[in-house]
Amino acid sequence: MSETIQIKTLTPLWTGDIDGKCSRIKETGVIGSLRWWYEELMKASGEDICNPTADNSEERCDKENGDICQVCRLFGCTGQKKKFGLRISGDFTDSTFVKYHYPNRPNKESNWYLKPGKLSTNHSIFELWDIFENYDNIGLIISLFGFLSENAGIGAKTQFGYGIIEPTVIDYELELLKRRLGEIKENKKIFFLKLNFDISETAMSEIFDETRNWGVCKSNGYLPTSPYFRYLLRESLREKSDINKSQRHNLMGKLNSTNSNLKVSHIYKNKKDSWEMRVWGNVPPANSDIRVWIKTLKDITFWEDKTVTELKVKENPKFKWLEEVLE
């Protein structure tokens, strides 16, 4: 039993090599991101999920005694085979290298470097098959693909704008994922936000005045804006006296220390040929102040005040907590 998903990349896709490059899209990188998301969703539903990489054996699944968590049942663990296969085929092209300078930032040496990822062609295929001939397994993975293509991203470096895809041929049932998750609990607060923009040429020139190769990105249907908006979001948090440094680092990450819990896509052209951006992440339940700040992300004036004059939010942002997405 197999299913074929033809994909279109809306922003470059990234799965890294040992030398820090992306020579091709690796199945292991995509499966790893799918597993990470499945773990997060299962935790949000209150499931007890193991840590398969933990040194302490008590934190891992105990296969000998049949104590295997829901994630390991589907994705496998030591001594437990995963229940599906993935093959990536077809042609991908390299995206361009981008040297990005923050506009209006005093320090002229503040640059971001976005390495080339991979862009799809008309023949970029994800082929899935069920190893144990059980449609529920393959259907669940397809449902997860569909969920992420609508709300978040896949692969690595999604916090830097990579990994937004649009399946061009896919028929998925979100109900399969909803049934497996059950009721969403309060221990994880995962949110998703979409904003649509009207962007003038003036705005593009101002934002990308000192950005190398941004015109090539535009011709491929996206604008390399993730570093810019992450900078604006971080600065917004700095200005809030009720959010301390530790909370800010928890959400936005800290250099060489803490991973970001908030992901920001590049601005890209969606299926309606409109410029769109995604923001998503999770907020620990103790950080009630962060939750209040998160809700302000859907405030249109926040974006108009924080960006250049010619960059306008086109319509009411679509903001949802996880439980609302799964309704």
Higher pLDDT, 55 or 161: 161
Residue 275 φ then ψ, to 5°: -75, 130
Domain count, the chain: 1
Q: In residues, how long is the chain? A: 327
pLDDT in tens, 102-127: 655 555 566 778 899 999 987 788 88
pLDDT confidence of residue 15: 93
Mean pLDDT, residues 45-50 taken together? 87
Residue found by looking up tokens 């909803």 in the block: 178
Distance CA 324, CA 326 (A): 5
Question: Given the DSSP bridges, would you call strands 262-264 and 111-114 parallel, antiparallel or unpaired?
Answer: unpaired
3-state DSSP call for residue 76?
coil
Mean pLDDT, residues 197-204 taken together? 80
Please tell me what DSSP assigns to residue 62. B
What share of the chain in percent tops pLDDT 70? 85
Q: Does the structure show a pLDDT above 90 at 33?
A: yes
- Residue-range definition of the domain harbouring residue 164: 2-325
pLDDT in tens, 219-261: 999 999 898 888 888 888 888 777 888 888 888 888 776 678 8
Which among 70, 85, 63, 77 is positioned nearest to 38, based on CA atoms? 70
pTM of the model: 0.89
Q: How confident is the model at residue 148 (pLDDT cuts 50, 70, 90)?
A: very high
3-state DSSP call for residue 86?
strand
Structure-derived torsion over alpha carbons of residues 300, 302, 307, 308, reported in degrees to the nearest 10? 60
Which among 11, 193, 234 is positioned nearest to 114, based on CA atoms? 11
Higher pLDDT, 303 or 71: 71
